[in-house]
Structure 1
Amino acid sequence: MKLRALALSLTLFAPVAALAEDSQAHAHLQAMSQANRSLDYSGRFLYQFGAEVSTMEVSHAVINGEEYQRLTHLDGRLVEVLRRGDEVICVHPDRSLTRMQKSQAGPMILAQRLTEDVPAQYNILVDGDGRVAGRHVTQLRVAPLDTHRYGYRLWMDNESSLLLKSEVVDGSGVALERVEFVSLDLEPNLTLSHFEIPESLRESELQPLSEDHQSTLMSVEAEWLPAGFEAADQDWRSADGRRQPVAAQGYSDGLAAFTVFVEAVGKGAVEEGVSRVGPTVAVSRRLTAPSGAYLITLVGEVPQATAERVIEGISVRDARH
């Protein structure tokens, strides 16, 4: 999840104007963060990811102090993502479901990551006004201070402060991902029944490993991370009984995020390489460590050069030593 830089004033009042502008931009971001978490709304939006464009429907409500959200793909095969408090469930076309983390909740994730405090590695600026879905909006730009992360352009509804349009942009200002509302209802009258999990679903086997499992004794570490990125808790899980457990180590600077996956491969051949779709890059490398051979894969919304530098410094070691 870029706005044009404000021209620098040459008057004596330039520092005062800059401070006022910065304060206004942060006030907008604070209002947007609050609105996206607290308001009831429904609508339809276009989701552009690389060359692909999808139409989606979203419903959001706060019921008994808990956030509920339903995302539904309106074209192609039916896929839904349901959020019920801290629980996030993806319903697949084959009627199976997978439980996910909130940080993996689909194209609206930027709105969820937004907080009133912008990470120190970004500047936020007001960049004029406009219209989205027939509504008047204020445009904001979140600009990175280095080349290790993407920038964001944001369009905030003037009436509700909801984020109505967002773009993830590269260093040249080209949009790599876009979410844009085409309709919005601020009085949807949603109830718990709207967020019920469909019946007759089978849950994918994705179980946490026991603490004494051999895989949980391995530690994934990064020699280098871009400034501001911090590691989350490492998560080892087994997808099914036929595959080796996979480690997932997440990293985030508060807006951008990527995950390093590690899977033991023994002496077998593995496919290394790089692929990109929109702002998401996937880089895979084989790693030989004292504890064995692994396939290391980094997936996330960071520039390719950043991903490759991070993955070159990934190490796997026995946590007991």
Structure 2
Amino acid sequence: MLRALALSLTLFLPLAVKAEAPSASDLLQQMAHASRSLDYQGRFLYQFGAEVSTMDIRHAVIDGKEYQRLTHLDGRLVEVLRRGDEVLCLHPDGSLTRLAHDQGGPFNLGERLARDVPEQYNVLVDGDSRVAGRIATVLRVAPLDTHRYGYRLWLDDDSHLLLKSETVDGSGVALERVEFVTLALAPRLSQSDFAAPPSSHENALQEVPGNTPDAHLALEAQWLPGGFEAMQEDWRRSEKNRAPVAAQGYSDGLATFTVFVEAVSDGSVEEGVSRVGPTVAVSRRLTAPSGAYLVTLVGEIPQATAERVIGNIRVHDNRH
């Protein structure tokens, strides 16, 4: 009787353990909650293409309000400070720029993944590893086609914080990497750790209203990779005293790119392709019945995808 009971426990115990293991979706939700709710401080490496920089991060929730300070530790001293809905960029000359919204920063990928993983990706638990001396669970976000990059994530087993992330190409080569090298949980942080120094002046971001008389260009993408949809169209000024540039963003929920179009008066504009890390920029001159335009795509998608998209962009001038 005892032998039969022992045998039954041996058979069913592994099944119980597997049933309790969190799914990839559960792990992503735990990661997002941890990044917003925990107090932590550390240093991490940020690799973008061949460039590597070191940054310091402080994060805390004080009186129900989320605070974060990102500080560049090499090169020019630049800081990004978030206090609730307020986002400030502090510059080396003592000036600051008040940003309209949070740009996300190096850990934006984790937030995007936690919201919803598009159907064009498959998320898999890919074993265990160690980052900054801490045991981590590895997740792999694999694209189901060649029109977007994949991602790898390392989640702290104890706190569920994102310890490391990589954006990888089709060969598995890391194009962008964020990796903690030191991490302290529950540090004693106060509002003074997120104070902005006295500013010499504040830079104003120039708004271009949507009803500007020059806002007459309309973009049409005749081919997009599956899952990509147009986001809200906006207008931006590239330089002083220049006409607004039409800017149309596209996203599949993870990857994003933006198409810029501006009218040109001669054939001196430069076409070309450049890549830094996962970001590609492709510029092409387009001739339409209404005139000549410079079309530029900038985003985190493979070069072949970017060139196919920009080759199928059409421009309409609503004045004609």
User: Please, what TM-score do these two structures have when normalized by structure 2?
Assistant: 0.85
Q: Show the counterpart of 1:309.
A: 308
Q: Which amino acid aligns with 1:76?
A: G
Structure 2: distance between partners of 1:316 and 1:137 = 48
Q: Show the counterpart of 1:244.
A: 243
Query: What is the aligned residue count?
Result: 305
CA shift in 2, pair 1:60/1:219, >3 Å = farther
CA shift in 2, pair 1:126/1:191, >3 Å = same
In the alignment, does 2:88 pair up with 1:115? no
- How far has the Cα of 1:133 moved from its partner? 0.7
Q: Show the counterpart of 1:7.
A: none
Matches within 5 A, 1:1-321: 24-100=23-99, 102=101, 104-267=103-266, 269-319=268-318
Structure 2: distance between partners of 1:63 and 1:265 = 51
Q: Which amino acid aligns with 1:276?
A: R
Structure 1: distance between partners of 2:197 and 2:245 = 29
CA deviation profile, 1:108-160 (whole Å, cap 9, x unmatched): 22123221531101111111111111111101100000000111110000111
Q: Which amino acid aligns with 1:287?
A: L
Structure 2: distance between partners of 1:128 and 1:153 = 11
CA shift in 2, pair 1:184/1:208, >3 Å = same
User: Please, what TM-score do these two structures have when normalized by structure 1?
Assistant: 0.85
- How far has the Cα of 1:168 moved from its partner? 0.6
121-130 vs 262-271, greater mean Cα deviation: 262-271
Q: Which amino acid aligns with 2:213?
A: Q
Q: SS state of the match for residue 28, structure 1?
A: helix
305-314 vs 256-265, greater mean Cα deviation: 256-265
Q: SS state of the match for residue 216, structure 1?
A: coil
CA deviation profile, 1:288-315 (whole Å, cap 9, x unmatched): 3344432221111110001111111222
Structure 1: distance between partners of 2:155 and 2:267 = 51
What fraction of aligned residue pairs are identical, expressed as a percent? 70
RMSD: 2.7
CA shift in 2, pair 1:105/1:263, >3 Å = farther
- How far has the Cα of 1:87 moved from its partner? 4.1
Q: Which has the larger radius of gyration?
A: 2
- How far has the Cα of 1:256 moved from its partner? 1.1
Structure 2: distance between partners of 1:21 and 1:74 = 42
Structure 2, unaligned stretches of length 5 or more?
1-14
Structure 2: distance between partners of 1:230 and 1:320 = 26
CA deviation profile, 1:183-236 (whole Å, cap 9, x unmatched): 112213333333334432444453222343123232223211111112211121
Cα pair 2:109 2:254 within 8 Å, conserved: yes
